């Protein structure tokens, strides 16, 4: 079930909603950026209202809306990775797209590997125990320099309490996830992925400026190359699972 119903609208209505010309929509059709629906091969162009809304709405807002939605629904298909193989295929496509951006010619592998660690963490730590909707939300907007990942999984606290039962809240768990090596033994060593993410964001010298917002439960942190001491803050809203925004 999608967050938006697939109502069809005419091309002039789509152009008005997006504040672009009909000619621009035709060019977007040719380039593949926004594909219309044709009732027959020679018919008029119609557009899914869901596609229009997704273009006009910020992808981070969409991800946050999804993790907070009750009852649970699946994300829109273009952002939904049901399993690890789907995620990997889309991650490979992201890496190819990042490689084409001149300012990222040296750093695109680091961005791709960071996204990979966050996404794979979601699948690894919730394998066989997703609380409701299985899989992750994964989207990127190259024009805005944004990459977003989210899951409705168990969250960092529940995951780490399996090996550190003394943890009492989301803030403690998030700090540990980014700063302490939990175990070198499988499968616990999967929990060390966020330490790599911190290393990329904070320690590795890069040409491009990268920034990460990461939230789990009611705790969040922000990392970039100016981070000295990791600061964990309290979020206005709480949810089960994880939400990440990478800006470049």
Whether 28 and 116 map to the same domain: the answer is no
Q: Is residue 1 part of a domain?
A: no
Is residue 169's pLDDT more than 80? yes
Tokens of 165: 């039962």
Q: Is residue 203 part of a domain?
A: yes
Is residue 151's pLDDT more than 50? yes
Largest CA distance in the chain: 65
Q: What is the structure's pLDDT at 23?
A: 93
Q: Please tell me which residue, 95 or 191, carries the higher pLDDT value.
A: 95
Tokens 């964001």 -> residue: 201
Whether 114 and 214 map to the same domain: the answer is yes
Res. 3 pLDDT band, cuts 50 70 90 = very low
Is residue 66's pLDDT more than 50? yes
Whether 24 and 85 map to the same domain: the answer is no
Whether 33 and 127 map to the same domain: the answer is no
Q: How many domains does the chain have?
A: 2
Whether 145 and 197 map to the same domain: the answer is yes
Distance CA 118, CA 120 (A): 6
Whether 27 and 76 map to the same domain: the answer is no
Distance CA 149, CA 137 (A): 5
Is residue 185's pLDDT more than 60? no
Q: What is the structure's pLDDT at 226?
A: 94
Whether 76 and 167 map to the same domain: the answer is yes
Whether 134 and 232 map to the same domain: the answer is yes
Mean pLDDT of 105-121: 97
Whether 50 and 101 map to the same domain: the answer is no
Whether 16 and 137 map to the same domain: the answer is no
Q: Is residue 78 part of a domain?
A: yes
Distance CA 243, CA 137 (A): 9
Q: What is the structure's pLDDT at 41?
A: 66
| Least confidently predicted of 82-86, 179-183, 217-221 | 179-183
Expressed as residue numbers, the domain containing 199 is 58-247
Pick from 128, 162, 138, 118: nearest CA to 77 = 138
Condensed to tens digits (0 to 9), the pLDDT of residues 203-228 reads: 999 999 999 999 999 999 999 999 99
Distance CA 131, CA 241 (A): 9
Q: Please tell me which residue, 190 or 57, carries the higher pLDDT value.
A: 57
Q: Is residue 21 part of a domain?
A: yes
Whether 151 and 233 map to the same domain: the answer is yes
Distance CA 95, CA 110 (A): 10
């Amino acid at each position: 079930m999608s967050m938006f119903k697939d109502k069809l609208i005419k091309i002039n209505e789509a152009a008005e909603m997006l504040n672009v010309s009909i000619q621009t929509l035709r060019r977007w059709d040719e380039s593949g950026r926004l594909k219309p629906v044709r009732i027959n091969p020679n018919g008029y162009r119609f557009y899914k209202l869901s596609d229009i809304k997704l273009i006009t709405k910020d992808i981070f807002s969409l991800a946050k809306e999804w993790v907070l939605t009750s009852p649970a629904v699946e994300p829109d298909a273009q952002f939904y990775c049901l399993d690890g193989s789907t995620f990997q295929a889309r991650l490979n496509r992201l890496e190819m797209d990042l490689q084409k951006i001149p300012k990222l010619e040296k750093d695109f592998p680091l961005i791709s590997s960071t996204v990979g660690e966050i996404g794979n963490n979601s699948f690894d730590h919730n394998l066989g125990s997703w609380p409701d909707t299985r899989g992750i939300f994964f989207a990127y907007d190259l024009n805005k320099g944004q990459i977003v990942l989210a899951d409705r999984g168990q969250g960092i606290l529940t995951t780490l309490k399996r090996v550190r039962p003394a943890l009492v809240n989301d803030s403690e768990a998030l700090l540990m996830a980014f700063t302490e090596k939990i175990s070198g033994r499988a499968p616990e060593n999967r929990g060390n992925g966020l330490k790599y993410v911190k290393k990329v964001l904070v320690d590795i010298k890069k040409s491009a400026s990268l920034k990460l917002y990461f939230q789990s439960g009611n705790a969040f942190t922000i990392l970039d190359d100016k981070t000295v001491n990791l600061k964990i803050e309290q979020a206005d809203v709480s949810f089960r699972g994880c939400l990440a925004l990478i800006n470049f």
